[in-house]
Structure 1
Amino acid sequence: MSPLLDPINEFFLANTGRPLIGNGANGAPGTGANGGDGGWLIGNGGAGGSGAAGVNGGAGGNGGAGGNGGAGGLIGNGGAGGAGGVASSGIGGSGGAGGNAMLFGAGGAGGAGGGVVALTGGAGGAGGAGGNAGLLFGAAGVGGAGGFTNGSALGGAGGAGGAGGLFATGGVGGSGGAGSSGGAGGAGGAGGLFGAGGTGGHGGFADSSFGGVGGAGGAGGLFGAGGEGGSGGHSLVAGGDGGAGGNAGMLALGAAGGAGGIGGDGGTLTAGGIGGAGGAGGNAGLLFGSGGSGGADDLTSPTAGRRPRGQRRHGLRLRRRRRQRRSWPGLRRRDRWGWRHPRADR
């Protein structure tokens, strides 16, 4: 900083805790410290520090939480959240939330949840939520991914996406972590006044149980479309269900509710793996628009790709009637112009 700006920043730091112009400091790795806020006028927020490994009780303890990202200034981006600490046998640390932007800038991404090293027990940490976009311009932050695990530990849930600004789309939800049961995907962030809702995060992969459920799509702003639901997680046993689509805004002109997420693949670890069900489509706007389409079931789902039984029979009857009419040798009759027609079912 210049000699002229330093006294001004020191005054603002002493009285408000953040400078007038300048970026916030990053949190130190392994401490879980929050990132510093950016300057009130111009500046990006600092990134949160990652969590320590096994801070609760030493090596066998839970991972520490990641620090939150600092807020951006009037012009500046929010800082990214720190990653959660790794646990040896407990619960992975949760990721820190991304910092919010103020007027012009993007929200910070949420930190990833911490993983678990042990082969038995425990759960991955949840991903941090994405930061909100600036009021006028900027993208919303993406939710952090859930923590990955080994053996019988459960995957962590993904973090929710940040909310969009006036014209921005909501942030994408974080993916669920992989484990014996997949973690759920994070919900998509809500859209701004004219923005669409964010897409839900994908469910996590499961190696011996159910795949993670896809995250729900974010709701559209007053004039925005709903976000799509996240797809269900794949599994060696039973795929996860797709997430529901987000609802369109009340006054969204022609905008549709979000489509439901696709169900996850069921595997072959057991006979007849079960595919996940597709998510429900979002509702249309109150005055205009159309509802979102439901998500497709996976091919291994019991109901995937089937038509209603009565509809199939009805089509077969029609085809039989057409073949019979073409093959009838019956009487022919002339119309008043002299044309002959085959006998019809009259």
Structure 2
Amino acid sequence: MSYSLGHGRVAAGAISLRSKDANMSFVAVATDLLVTATMDLDRIGMAINAGSTAAAASTTEVAAAAADEISTAVAELFGAYARGYQIIGAQAAMFHAEFVRALDIGAGAYWATEVANASPLQSLEQQLLATINAPTQTLLGRPLIGNGADGAAGTGADGGAGGLLYGNGGAGGSGGTAHPTGGRGGNAGLFGSGGIGGSGAAGAAGGTGGNGGLLYGAGGNGGAGGNAVIPGGDGGMGGAGGAAGVNPSPLPAGTPAAAGTPGGSDLGQPGAPGGPGDYGVSTATVGQPGGEGGARGDGNYVGGVGGTGGAGGVGAVGGDGGRGGDSTTGTVAKLGVGGTGGTGGAGGAGAAGG
């Protein structure tokens, strides 16, 4: 049986399908579009009602231009038209409200039907995974299939490990007051990617990325280091990237990328940021490291932050972060602080972060 798009009018958020082999048609409803249409119509009705209310005071009671009978009659005529408009507007507003209510009820009914139809499949999937994972969860404390749980934000908790057979590691939680350092990303099993490390709190280091799968998978990126606590202080160190999955037959490496352009010096202010390193060009399956980020220009008090290292090619390590700018004596002698080196580039798929 084949179908074609119908040409009849259907409700907003619906698509009509008509069978070519039988005299029947089907309607596919997108509930999210129905909900959006309901909200839009409700806002339109509110705007029209607000305009009608604002115009009522100055139009329904029009003052006569003069004290003669003609001016009074003209003013009364205009006022009568305005009062008639307000009556019709109130009736239209009631009809509009009923239409929006009916559309909202219809969207809710379609949504409830979709949830009811999807629930049995979701329950079956959960029961099947629970049965498969029960033995390894009991013996090793780790599922056979499934992704690891993410660490809670602000706790510095480590991400959960992925399934022994298949699954990605969970992301590490960001650092907080009790545990400033970002949490470590969870490791993958045989197949899967390592979880990303959690970002550090102010002045603290980011978490280490989780290791990729033993047979296949990318290592997780290290978490970002926290910002410096005081002006001129050191920011937290970025977390190390996770180890990549084993590659039993690496191919020849490609051509390395050029380093980024250094930033210019700006007397009396921190230097301009260095340009990011170019992306690594991969001539084979395994790319070379991305270029080193450009060094930031020197400031007269606090050195600039080094440029971001270029992203590595496929299977390659990301480039080194740029050199932080040197401080100069300037107007505040012997108080200059060198800038922080730039962040290393993200590793390509199947390699460690820079």
Do they superpose with TM above 0.5? no
Superposition TM-score tier, normalisation by shorter sequence: 0.3 to 0.5
Kindly name which structure, 1 or 2, has the bigger radius of gyration based on alpha carbons.
Answer: 2
